[in-house]
Structure 1
């Protein structure tokens, strides 16, 4: 009986660990924990991932945009928030992604967003400018308090 319990406990821990590593679950959960409010639900979709980078679409309270996420030794962190500029592989390269990863991530985003209706795409595109979110940024986040993630 103890052996069965030990095996079940091991399987449970393995499934939790693998779920914790899944960017499709971890990234939305983290962003929701930071930005979701009871009166303002946060929709995080799509989540596309390539080699330690991710682009996430978000919608909340009539606003929206895209977040570039970076995986660090602390987990996934929001690097910057923008709109359509994150669809461009050239922009992603300028932000530090290798050319192959930038092209792959932009392609994955295009494919993922192909299934969205025009109103969702309009919200993703509506984010004006670029707001750096990580602590290595230049502090360019000023003046964008109302945007959300």
Structure 2
């Protein structure tokens, strides 16, 4: 009996760890904890990932947009929210992403959004302007943990 409990506990911990590590599960889960309300469900799709960066579409209560997210030692965090500007590789490069990461993200985003219905795409595009979410110290330039060296 103890062995069975130990095996089940091990499987539970392993499944929780893999869910946290899989950005396709971890990112929507984090956003839902932060923003979803019982009367305002949050739809998170698509989620595209390139290295430590992700672009995520979100829709809630008749509104929507895209979020640029960055993986740090604390997990996935929202770097900024915007609309169509996140579909542009040059914009991502200006934010500090490498040429490869910017091109990879925008290419994956184009493919992922090709399957969305027009009303969902319109909501993703409806976010006006840009809202910065992360402090510069944890932003595109890295975690900056070694400044004192």
Q: Is 1:60 aligned to 2:55, yes or no?
A: no
Question: What do residues 75-134 of structure 1 show as CA deviations (whole Å, max 9, x unaligned)?
Answer: 000000000000111111111111001101100000000000111111111111111011
Cα distance between partner residues in 1 of 2:103 and 2:113? 15
The alignment's C-alpha RMSD in Å is 1.4
Q: TM-score, normalised by structure 2?
A: 0.86
Counterpart for residue 95 of structure 2? 95
Runs in 1 of length 4+ with deviation above 4 angstroms? Answer: none
Cα distance between partner residues in 1 of 2:111 and 2:127? 20
Counterpart for residue 8 of structure 1? 8
Counterpart for residue 128 of structure 1? 128
Cα distance between partner residues in 1 of 2:48 and 2:111? 10
Q: TM-score, normalised by structure 1?
A: 0.86
- Which ranges of structure 1 fall in alignment gaps of 5 or more residues? 138-149
Look up the SS of the partner of 2:135 in the other structure: coil
Question: What do residues 47-71 of structure 1 show as CA deviations (whole Å, max 9, x unaligned)?
Answer: 1111010000001111110000000
Count of residues in correspondence between the two structures: 137
